[in-house]
Structure 1
Amino acid sequence: MTRRVSVWGGGFWLSRKTREAALDAARELDGLGYSRLWTSGGFGEGVPSIYGEVLAATPKLGVASGIISIWHADPADLAKEVDRFEREYPGRFLLGLGASHGAVVDATDAGRYTKPYSRMVEYLDALDATSTPVPAEALALAALGPRMLTLSAERTAGAHPYFVPAEHTAQARAILGDGPLLAPEVAVVLDENEDTARGIAQEYMRGYLSLPNYSNNLLRLGYTEDDVAGAGSDRLREALIPSGSIERVVAGIERHYEAGADEVPIQVLTADPTSFPTQAYRDLAAALIA
C-alpha cells in the first residue's frame, strides 16, 4: 500500500467559529500533498457538516471520521451520508467508527456502555442491512486490542489506533497482516524549548490517560502503573509524542512507518488549540511528503 501522510485535527475543525479558517487550512493541506484529514464528531448528529464542506472545498483531499461513536450515531443515517459522499466525491470519504469510552457514553446514558466489541459487531451488521450498505473499503475501526484489530481486518478496510507508541503499531500490523490499512494517529510537538514541549505534551496526555481504554492498552504493552499515572512518565511521553526539532519529530513519525503503518495522521499539539499550526504542517510536509 502506498505510504500516506495525513492530518488529525480536533476542535479547530469542528467549531463554527473557525470554519472559514479551517476550510482555508484544508485547501493548503491539499496543496501540500497531505492525503487525508481525520477529525472526530458524530455524537448524536450523524456526520458533521465539516466533512462535506472540506470535500467540497478541496479537489483531492480525503476526509475520514476519526471517530464517529457507535453509541451516538444512527447507522441508517450514516450509511445514507456515506453513499452521498461516494456519489459526489468518489473514493474520498472513509467512515471511521469507534466504541468510544464508558465515561463519555454513560455521561449521557448511565449504564449503556456494555460489551463494546459485541456492540461494534451489531453496528457493522446494521450498516450492512441498510438500503445503502457501506462497503468495507469505505470503513475503518478505531482499534486498540487484538479482538477489535482482528475485526477491523475482517470487516473493514483496516484500523485507526489512537494514542499509541510505535510498538503498538508493530503489534497491530502483525495482527492485521499484510493488506489492511493501518493508520495510527501520532501527536507531535514542534518546539525546541524542552520545558514548553513537555508542558504541552503533558496537558494532552493527562486527559487520555484518565480513560481506561488507553491506559489499559499501554499497560498491555508493558508500561507500568507509574508510567500511566497523572500526566504520564517522561518515558511514556517520549514514546508517544515526538517532540523538539523537526528532525526529532520526523524521526518519531518514521518509527511508525517502519513498524508497519501505511498512513500516519499527524496531530500537531500547540499551546493554543483554537488556531491552526500552519507552519508546522508546512515543515512536516517538506520533510515527509515526496
Structure 2
Amino acid sequence: MGGIDGMDLGTFGIYTFDFERRPATWMRESIQELEELGWRAFWMPELLGREALTHAGYLLSCTERINVVNGIAQIWSRGARWTYGAALLLADAYPGRHVLGLGFGGEQRPGTKPLAAMTAYLDELDSAETVNPAPRAPMRRILAAYGPRMLELARDRAAGAQTYHVNVAHTAQAREILGPNAFLGVEHAVLFESDPGRARATAREHLAPYLASPYNVAKFRRLGYSEEEIAGGGADRLVDDFVFWGDPETIVGKLRTHVAAGADHVAVQVVGIEPGGSAMPYWRLLADALLPRPTDRST
C-alpha cells in the first residue's frame, strides 16, 4: 500500500478537536506526553478558531519526533499563495514532520463546486512552487476526499487522501481508486462505553452535526444508507459503523479492520469526553494497545 514519501506516520495516530479549545501550555505538555508514549502522528482540524498552519507550527516547535498533520486546512480560509508560504516554512524548519492536509472549508465562493475549487487551489499552489521552490525538504500534501473524483484528484495531484467519518467499506473503495501507491489515512471515532443504549445515545450526539450536513448526507447515501437510516439521529447500523464503541479490545479490533481494508494509517478520534475533561487517559490506553512496544518502536 501507499505512504507519504520520507515520512513514517505509523499505522495509528491521534485525531482531536481538543487542542483547538485549550491554552498553549496544556497543548505543549500534552503533545510532549503523546510523543513520549510513542505516537508518531497527531492530526487536528481547523474549525473552532485556531489557524491551521500556526497551530501546526506551534506543535512542531514543542516536539522532536511526532508528525503533525493538518486534517484539514480549509482552502476557502486563506489564499493558496499564503498556504504555500506557510507550509514551505514548516517543511524547511521541521523536515519530514509536517503534512499539509487540504479540504474544502471556510467561506465558500458562490457557485464554486468543491472539486473545481480544489483543482484551482492546487494549480495555484503548483504555480507558487515554480516561483519559490522548496530549498530542502519537500512539502507533503494530502486531500480530504470521499467521492471517486476527489479521490482521483488526491491520487494524481497529492500524496494521497484523508477520509473522515467513513465506514470500512468506503476504505476498501478508496484504496481501489487510489491504487497501491497513494497514501490513505482514515479518521475514525471511538467511544469507550460498553452499554449499547448509552453508547449509541452518545454516538448520536457526536454524529448529529454530520447527519445535518448536505455533504455528509450525500456521502452516507453513496455508502448505501437509506433515508430512514440517516434520519432521526441515525439508525443503529449507521451509528455502529461510524462510531466504534465498546471495551478496549473490541474497539482495537474494529480499528484494525480499516487497515485490513486498505488504510495505511488510522487516526483515532476519542469522543464522549465530558466538558472540561481530557482524552489523555484513553490515548494512554490506546498507546498500550495499538503502538509497538518501546523496545521495537523503531519498526
Give the TM-score normalised by the residue count of structure 2. Answer: 0.88
Shift of 1:43: 8.7
1: CA distance, partners of 2:97 / 2:232:
39
Corresponding residue to 2:238 among 226, 236, 239: 236
Corresponding residue to 1:34 among 29, 34, 39: 39
Cα RMSD for the two superposed structures: 2.1
Look up the match of 1:53. Answer: 58
Look up the match of 2:14. Answer: 7
Shift of 1:44: 9.1
Look up the match of 1:154. Answer: 156
User: Per the alignment, do residues 133 and 163 of structure 1 end up closer, same or farther by CA in structure 2, a change over 3 Å counting?
Assistant: farther
Look up the match of 1:270. Answer: 272
Q: Which structure 2 residue ranges, 5 or more long, are not aligned?
A: 293-299
Look up the match of 2:295. Answer: none
User: Per the alignment, do residues 136 and 226 of structure 1 end up closer, same or farther by CA in structure 2, a change over 3 Å counting?
Assistant: farther
Shift of 1:196: 2.8
Q: Which structure 1 residue ranges, 5 or more long, are not aligned?
A: none
Contact 2:145–2:163 (8 Å) recurs in 1: yes
Give the TM-score normalised by the residue count of structure 1. Answer: 0.90
Shift of 1:24: 1.4
Shift of 1:259: 0.5
Contact 2:161–2:185 (8 Å) recurs in 1: yes
2: CA distance, partners of 1:44 / 1:255:
33
Where in structure 2 are the equivalents of 1:14-93 lying within 5 Å? 14-15=20-21, 17-41=22-46, 47-93=52-98
Look up the match of 2:100. Answer: 95
Shift of 1:48: 4.3
Query: Which one-letter code corresponds to 1:120 in the other structure?
Result: M
Corresponding residue to 1:197 among 196, 199, 218: 199
Contact 2:192–2:245 (8 Å) recurs in 1: yes
Shift of 1:62: 0.6
Q: Does 1:117 align with 2:115?
A: yes
Look up the match of 1:258. Answer: 260
Look up the match of 2:183. Answer: 181
Where in structure 2 are the equivalents of 1:121-136 lying within 5 Å? 121-130=119-128, 131-132=131-132
Query: Which one-letter code corresponds to 1:63 in the other structure?
Result: V
Query: Which one-letter code corresponds to 2:85 in the other structure?
Result: K
Corresponding residue to 1:206 among 193, 205, 208: 208
Deviations 1:242-285 (A, max 9, x none): 10100111111111001000011100002425432111111111
2: CA distance, partners of 1:257 / 1:245:
20
Aligned length: 281
